[in-house]
Amino acid sequence: MTKSISVIVGSLRRGSYARKIAHETITYFPEGYDAQIVEIRDLPLYDFDYDDPDVADKPAPEEYTRFRETIKASDGVLFVTAENNRTIPACLKNAIDIGSKPNSDVAWKNLPAGIISHSVGRMGGYSSQKNLRLALSYFDMPTPGQPEVFLGQSPTLIDDEGRIASERTVEFLQDYVDRFVRLVEEHA
């Protein structure tokens, strides 16, 4: 059966390098895998009232329900994120919070997670990635081990056609996808 991977991009910007990297990385998945970007742009800001049984007049928005169902139906999640102010962009934190409730049915629980961070500087979104790992640490999500993927100077990584310019980076990302796929197979 086809395995489904939800790809979540931590940037809303039209020209986002994270989105370009995500588009390219999707093509590195093997046959039998369907990896698709799950949009997080229209998720309303997280408000626990929506999940609080004591607040009867605020049902969960349809966008929350759809997002949670999509994540739960996935065999794995691949995060590709930028860094804002040394942590993950707010849109990504919002999506993580939405997927983290209700406690009885956490969408992220036990799902294999791949993590790619990037930045226009040299540090490759190090703090963003580490903060993302912290935010996910409650959900028992297995992740590939070393090496982690920190892509620095992202504008130089992508050519005019939106392809990864360097063969070394392609190989590095392909290796990461291969390790992530093995993890997904192990947890199937």
Q: Is 18 in the site for ligand FMN (CB under 6 A)?
A: yes
Pick from 5, 6, 7, 11: which binds ligand FMN (CB under 6 A)? 11
Q: What is the DSSP string of the chain?
A: --EEEEEEEE---TT-HHHHHHHHHHTTSPTTEEEEEPP-TTPPPP-GGGG-TT-TT-PPPHHHHHHHHHHHT-SEEEEEE--BTTB--HHHHHHHHHHT-SGGG-TTTT--EEEEEE-SSSSTTHHHHHHHHHHHTTTT-----SSPEEE-SHHHHB-TTSSB--HHHHHHHHHHHHHHHHHHHHT-
Query: Least distance to ligand FMN from the beta carbon of 143, Å?
Result: 21
Query: Least distance to ligand FMN from the beta carbon of 22, Å?
Result: 9
Site for ligand FMN, residues 113 to 142, rule: CB under 6 A: 119-121, 123
**Closer residue to ligand FMN, CB minimum distance, 6 or 84:** 84
Site for ligand FMN, residues 72 to 111, rule: CB under 6 A: 82-86
Query: Least distance to ligand FMN from the beta carbon of 6, Å?
Result: 18
**Closer residue to ligand FMN, CB minimum distance, 163 or 187:** 163
Query: Least distance to ligand FMN from the beta carbon of 181, Å?
Result: 24
